[in-house]
Amino acid sequence: MKLNWQLMGLLGLSLGSLVTAGTITAQAKTTIKAKLTTSAVTYQAANKTATFTGKTSNGKVKHIVVTYGKTKHTTTTVKKQQFKVSKAFTGYRNFKLYGTTAKGKRITKVQTITSARYATQKPLVTRTDRSGVTGSLMVTAQVPAASVATVYKNGRFLTKQYNETTTAFFGLTDITATKYKLTVTAKKADRKASPAVTVPVVKPGLIMETNYYY
């Protein structure tokens, strides 16, 4: 019995070595021969699509592949070392882009595009004032300049405004519930709206101020 266990151990070691060697060989086949540069990322709200525009360092790259989470990848053809590719998506996950040969072999590094490139920065609610007349609520938020800030009540549109500066003021009425549910989003042109930010609940007669440090 002891000899059998030793034999199995040796076989396991040999198989493990073969698997490891095979993995190393497979990884070695990916040779970086070109560079991928994404110069612009825009978002089209009408069809919930992100568009990537860029170039490659040489003519060896024939296709650009775009992946997003577990969704089906999108491929486009490179023309004169230039590319433009669009992909519909939901959420705020990262995109992955890379270049391949005509036969589909990757020859560039995988480039990661985070939500900071295609989505608007989230608002920061800095002041919630419920000290005025009954039912009134003043909300102050820091938002990106040249953006539209929108307030939702219980998930439904309540009001919105365009802000040239980085400060948005909302004078809301009919906020009578003790525990209201208000959220704020911001959206810049050619970018996806930010994730919703919750407005803090304040009791009637009180003011809440929040300072953010970076």
pLDDT tens digits for range 154-164: 999 999 999 99
User: What pLDDT score does 141 carry?
Assistant: 97
CB of 168 closer than 8 Å to CB of 149: yes
SS3 12: helix
CATH no., domain 124-206? 2.60.40.10
- Tens digits of per-residue pLDDT, 170-203? 999 999 998 999 999 999 999 999 999 999 999 9
Q: Which fold has domain 36-117?
A: Immunoglobulin-like (2.60.40)
Is residue 2 classed as helix, strand or coil in its secondary structure?
helix
The model's confidence at residue 4, banded by pLDDT at 50, 70 and 90, is: very low
Does 134 or 21 have the greater pLDDT score?
134
Domains 36-117 and 124-206 share a fold: yes
How far out from the chain centre does Cα 52 lie?
14
The domain spans of the chain are: 36-117, 124-206
Q: Can you tell me the distance from the alpha carbon of 178 to that of 205, in angstroms, rounded to the nearest whole number?
A: 12
- pTM of the entire predicted model: 0.81
Classify residue 160 by burial, with Cβ atoms within 10 Å: 0-12, 13-18, 19+.
Answer: middle
Identify each DSSP E strand in 62-172 by its residue range.
63-68, 74-77, 82-88, 95-100, 111-113, 124-129, 137-142, 147-153, 156-163, 167-172
User: Tens digits of per-residue pLDDT, 137-179?
Assistant: 999 999 999 999 999 999 999 999 999 999 999 999 999 998 9
Assess whether pLDDT exceeds 70 at residue 9: no
Eight-class DSSP state of 31: -
Q: What is the pLDDT of residue 23?
A: 40
Position with higher pLDDT, 4 vs 137: 137
Check if the beta carbon of residue 43 is closer than 8 Å to that of residue 192.
yes
